Structure formats: structure tokens, C-alpha cells
Amino acid sequence: MRLTSLSLALAAAAALSVPAYAHHSFAMFDNTKLTTWEGTVERYDWTNPHTQIFIVVPPSAKDQSTVGRWNIEGSSPNIMTRQGWNKSTLKPGDKVTLVGHPLRQSSL
């Protein structure tokens, strides 16, 4: 249940960060693709200008193209707080499923 809530919260935070378009370019992301990363939190940085979730996707992952260590960029702490997140929402060792747009230069 917590994993589903976490996935939904991340999707909502991304969707509600539309005001960020006023001063950020998202051209580096491939908005035509969605990637799902299923792994374990290695580190969670609650810092400006964007939160960072470092995860490790194991070799047993369904999508072999996502295996490895990843740095997933989230919204600002301000936006994340408004969505119910805080600096202790994620802890090292937590199992997560994250869905987002991959980088254009990525092989995903």
C-alpha cells in the first residue's frame, strides 16, 4: 500500500509542478516516453533547487534497461511539501517504484 501511495504521490508531484515551466526547460527529458524504475533507495536528498532520489535497480528487474544506480530528480522541496512529502519520506533501504520521463540522451 505504501509503495502504491508513494508512486501516486510522485506522479502527482510531477504533474502539479507545471508552474516550474515558467523558469525551467524540460527539453532534456523525452516527454514521449515513461520509464518505471523499481529498486531500493540508496539516498534521498531534500535540497534546493530539486530533491534527488538515488536508487539501485537490481539485476532481477523486469526492465533490464533500468538495472543499475539512478539519480531521479524530483520537484523542489517547496512543491514536494505541498504534496505531502518531507525530508524523511524516503529512507535508505526503502523499496520504491518511480515513474518518470527518461533523459533524451539516455539509451532508454
pLDDT tens-digit series, residues 69-88: 999 999 999 999 999 999 99
pLDDT tens-digit series, residues 16-54: 555 555 556 667 777 888 889 999 999 999 999 999 999
DSSP β-ladder status, 52-57 and 95-100: unpaired
Task: Give me the domains of the chain, ranges plus CATH numbers.
Answer: 2-100 (2.40.50)
The more confidently predicted of residues 32 and 93 is: 93
